[in-house]
Chains A and B, each alone.
Chain A
Amino acid sequence: MSENAVVVCTFEPGREGLPEGAEEILHIGRGLATALSAPLHWLILGPLPDRASATAGHYGVSSLQQMEDPKLLPSNADACVAALSGYCSDQAPQAVLLHQTLDARIVAPRVAGRLNKAVVMNGISIEPNGENLQLTASAYGGDTRVIYEVGPGPILSFIANAAVPDPSEGDPVSVENISCDLSEITERIEIIEQARFDGPRLDDAEIIVSGGRGLGSVDNYPLIEQLAEAMGGLAGASRPLVDEGWVDSSHQVGLTGRITRPNLYVAIGISGASQHMAGCSAAKTLVAINRDEDAAIFQYARYGLVGDALELIPELIRAVRDR
């Protein structure tokens, strides 16, 4: 058994007692640790999430480690980078795995840069390959997959949105405090205006109805909102609608927008470009509505309706309300 651990690192308190994507990334970490016969550690930067201890037990975490410091907020990149780099220098993990949030997208490469280690984003799966690790990641907006080989100690970020089997809780794991000295750190970036959005987020939605350029005009977007509301879901959009200013960017689904994983995703007037699919292909059921029967979106769909969105949406609203 190798001494050096596989480390899952999270640094967002999360809305429901666990950091975003924590279970998914722990699941990936568990798989790698098992394949390497290495212990799995879970390093938490900042406050301990409510369900951390029980969740750690369920995923076979042998050490739940916490670095506590008022400076360790996810938006404090300088503090997070200093803490995680210090940890890696001391503990020499076999690999550090993160779930790809906007903050992780800054912290991961900066830590790798500071330590002169490999860094890869957009990971999907990972396995050992001799002395090295072999990571499958998405490229070209999802049109291709690439397999990267990396040496020991890389910082790896995953789009962890695959379903996790049986997310029940296990025997609690006790928390070990890891000291870190951040007294010298002063954040170089000052937040002038905090992002303010308290509504439900697409990332957490069970049902999403998204509209694309096929809607033809901004005047038709309210139809999407009405159908979403009738179905008890949220309204999303493809990027052109955001670029055109029809909707604000918190609605954008895709590679460079929200990565969603609802139960039901209804794509209306959306062609199915890989960059859009990157944000919705984890949906359990995908319904596509498009007037072009050859549209790529149908390749991903469970159910397809070929027809004019503007005729179909009002009928769908009626049919949902009828039931």
Chain B
Amino acid sequence: MRIVVCVKEVMDPDAVNNYAVAGRLEIGEDGKTLTQTAIPRLMNGYDEQAIEAALRLRDEGADFTLAVISAGSDPEKMLKHAAALGAQELVAIQVDPESLDQQAFARLLAAQIETMGGADLVLCGRQASDDDQGVVPALIGEQLNMPVITVARAVALLDNQVRVTRVTSDGDQVVAAACPAVVTISNELGDPRYPSAAAKVKARRIKPTVVQPSDLGLSPEDIAPRVMLTRQFVPEVQGNCEFIQGEVAQMADSLIERLKADSIL
């Protein structure tokens, strides 16, 4: 059995948010890309949790090969982290992410999964924290003809079935599907674990397999983008906050008075 986890490298979203809040988030001369080189790049948080979901299945006794794959310009460091956590197969699909769209990423990842002999379970993050699209897993599902189950807080394997607890606005829902399937992981899964120091040292020597789109039988036309990012900008927040002053009780009274006067309460 093989479980494939798809991981994407993103800019640290908390750092991006800190820059934004401080009014220092800047877009480069191309009008598209964030230029703050001080913002660290790391594994998308939900993807780290997708690896965690796989490791929990292993803890529960499931026997499988764990493959972690990524398409990007330089995912090697991130993949070593995955190796330290216990991934046995690591594949870096070498591409310039700026020139691709989600359809292209999904094609590359699906082709890689097929090339490596398929997967019984494909785990992804619910969305990448840079583009927030959350479409690559569904597109992979279509490519590989697998059902797609989103926003998992828990994943279990029973016989040849995957059973998923989903987080919905009406509370948790439990669904099941026969493997192979694509499952996306939500933050409710809980914190991912850290690799041990020894595992980290050992992982340093591991080299991910690097593949090019052509190795996967994909031509430049096959991965030509259908969605073109033409511009990115930082939205303005108007900021007309009226600060209510006074002692605690006064503040409370004044606020409620104002809300009444505005017919809000």
**Interface of A toward B, CB cutoff 8 Å:** 77-78, 102, 105-106, 108-110, 112-114, 116-122, 134, 138-151, 154, 188-197, 201-203, 207, 231, 239, 242-243, 248-250, 255-256, 258, 263-264, 272-275, 284-285, 287-288, 293, 296, 298-308, 311-312, 315-316, 318-320, 322-323
Contact = CB atoms under 8 A, between A and B. Distances in A.
B172 A143 contact: no
A261 to B, nearest CB: 14
A110 B244 contact: no
Interface in B233-254: 233-235, 237, 239-244, 248-249, 251-253
A114 B239 CA distance: 44
Contacts of B241: 288, 298-304
Shortest Cβ-Cβ A-B pairs, 10 listed? A113-B142, A315-B252, A109-B138, A109-B135, A188-B147, A193-B174, A118-B226, A195-B173, A195-B170, A143-B20
Given A303-B241, A303-B242, A303-B258, A189 B177 contact: yes
Given A141-B129, A146-B232, A273-B21, 13 more contacts: A105-B138, A108-B135, A121-B133, A140-B16, A145-B235, A189-B149, A190-B176, A197-B169, A231-B265, A239-B187, A285-B264, A322-B256, A323-B260
Interface residues of B, number: 84
A199 to B, nearest CB: 9
B248 A148 contact: no
Given A118-B227, A264-B264, A275-B17, A139 B138 contact: no
Given A145-B232, A256-B127, A303-B244, A119 B150 contact: no
Contact of A144 (B234, B243, B259): B234
B223 interface: no
Nearest to A151: B226
User: Which DSSP category, helix, strand, loop or mixed, fits chain A's interface?
Assistant: mixed
A150 B138 contact: no
Interface of B: 11, 13-14, 16-17, 20-21, 25, 27, 34, 101-103, 106, 126-127, 129-135, 138-139, 141-143, 147-151, 153, 163, 166-178, 181, 186-188, 190-191, 226-235, 237, 239-244, 248-249, 251-253, 255-256, 258-260, 262, 264-265
Given A150-B228, A194-B173, A144 B252 contact: no
A59 B168 CA distance: 30
B252 A316 contact: yes
Nearest to B129: A141
A207 B175 CA distance: 33
B103 A191 contact: no
Given A143-B17, A249-B167, A316 B229 contact: no
A207 B132 CA distance: 27
B36 to A, nearest CB: 12
B132 A190 contact: no
A189 B152 CA distance: 14
Contact of B103 (A112, A193, A293, A318): A112
Contact of A263 (B130, B242, B264): B264
Given A119-B135, A140-B130, A188-B178, A304 B243 contact: yes
Given A102-B150, A117-B226, A148-B229, A255 B132 contact: yes
Given A264-B265, A316-B252, A319-B255, A146 B150 contact: no
Contacts of A143: 16-17, 20, 25, 234
Contacts of A142: 235
A307 B229 CA distance: 43
B173 to A, nearest CB: 4
Contacts of B142: 109-110, 113-114
A307 to B, nearest CB: 6
Contacts of B259: 264, 285, 287, 303
Contact of A139 (B169, B170, B232, B251): B232
Contacts of A258: 169
Contacts of A299: 21, 237, 239, 241
A315 B248 contact: yes
Contacts of B240: 302
A113 B103 contact: yes
A319 B260 CA distance: 11
Contacts of A116: 103, 226
Contacts of B149: 189
Nearest to B233: A145
B139 A306 contact: no
A147 B3 CA distance: 35
